Amino acid sequence: MASAFPQNSQSIDELRKQAEKGDAQAQSALGKAYHAGEGVPKDDAEAVKWWTKAAEQGDINGEISLGFAYHMGWGVTKNYAAAARWYQKAADQGNGGAQTDIGVMYHLGQGVPKDDTEAERWWQKAAEQGVVGAQLYLGGAYQRGLGVAKNDAEAARWFRKAADNGQPDAQAFLGRAYIYGAGVAKDEAEGIKWLRKSADQGNVNGQLGLADAYRGGLGAAKDDAEAVRWYIKAADQGAAIAQYNVALAYSLGDGVEKNPSEAARWWQKAAEQGFAQAQYNLALAYHSGQGVPKDDVEAYFWINIAAASLGQTSILQTRENIGRFLTPSQLADIQKRCREWFERHADAPVLYPAK
């Protein structure tokens, strides 16, 4: 793609002259040049100076760029309220990208009160302009009932629009819709087609959907080895549910040769991301010495973390049994580690296997 910025000092000088005369478009373009380091040394503070001048004149590109700067902390202290204010100004002028962004701010409650109805309203405006990201978000809103009544048909319709434009998350969600007949006529072959389009782009949701399809024989012949292959691709990208499923495959020998060490390694990865069942399975591995050296201190630590989320009587009983092998000093140290864990993960969601 050709650069949008001036490519030589003469053109930069001409742009600067126009900007200094108050030309808002030149001010916005000069800010972008400084942000990209094209034709001038990269300098985000200088970029923000020029974007501010442009934005204060109502230049849409300046408003959007300044919103990004405050959102990301480019050349200024990160400030969600300021980001939302500038996105809002551009959105009010009809810019689809800004409408998408202010919708995200309302959905997350960043710089504005959390309000999914307002988020959906802005996504609708942007989606109708053909903004692919907004079409994806709007599909998600209808799928989950965020700010609108849950409507699988509307979700699938907006996912299809984004999927047709190559958006890989939308392709994955549309694929699942066809697999399970959510908002569209059930068509497993069509579902596999869209999941593969997504997965072939390296998308985690597509990889997970394709793995689930091969594991369940949905739209394709049941193939545990192929399922594991796709779970590993998603797991390598950090998806905790995929890490859990890879561990389960190695633990049971489904689609791969049974390997307790590999199972424990993947339990560990998922456990550290807060995946409750993986935490419990890792505790059992440490207690039994399956795939890892037997270590009841680690076993008690992980089962204590898991018990806070899972809480089943059997888990609590297992924790009590493991605790009998430990000294009061060891138990006190573990409790301290657990408190530190929960403090570090206070805002993280608890993850469970999909049902």
Residue 289 has pLDDT above 50, yes or no: yes
Cβ atoms of residues 237 and 204 within 8 Å: yes
Tens digit of pLDDT for each residue in 93-122? Answer: 999 999 999 999 999 999 999 999 999 999
pLDDT of amino acid 345? 84
Tens digit of pLDDT for each residue in 17-45? Answer: 999 999 999 999 999 999 999 999 999 99
pLDDT band at residue 309, thresholds of 50, 70 and 90?
confident
Q: Tell me the C-alpha distance between 223 and 292, whole Å.
A: 29
Tens digit of pLDDT for each residue in 89-99? Answer: 999 999 999 99
Percent of the chain with pLDDT over 70: 95
Structural domains in the chain, CATH included, are 1-93 (1.25.40.10), 273-355 (no CATH)
Q: Tell me the whole-structure pTM to 2 decimals.
A: 0.87
For the chain, give the mean pLDDT. Answer: 94
Spacing of C-alpha 62 from chain mean position: 28
Amino acid identity for residue 116 in this structure:
D
pLDDT of amino acid 346? 75
In DSSP notation, 100-132 reads: HHHHHHHHHTSSS---HHHHHHHHHHHHHTT-H
pLDDT of amino acid 53? 98
pLDDT of amino acid 354? 46
CA nearest neighbour of 335 among 303, 288, 291:
303
Tokens matching residue 346 = 């206070």
Tens digit of pLDDT for each residue in 183-223? Answer: 999 999 999 999 999 999 999 999 999 999 999 999 999 99
Tell me which of 6 and 280 has the higher pLDDT: 280
DSSP three-state, residue 2: coil
Percent of the chain with pLDDT over 90: 92
Longest alpha-carbon distance in the chain: 79
Tokens matching residue 146 = 């965020």
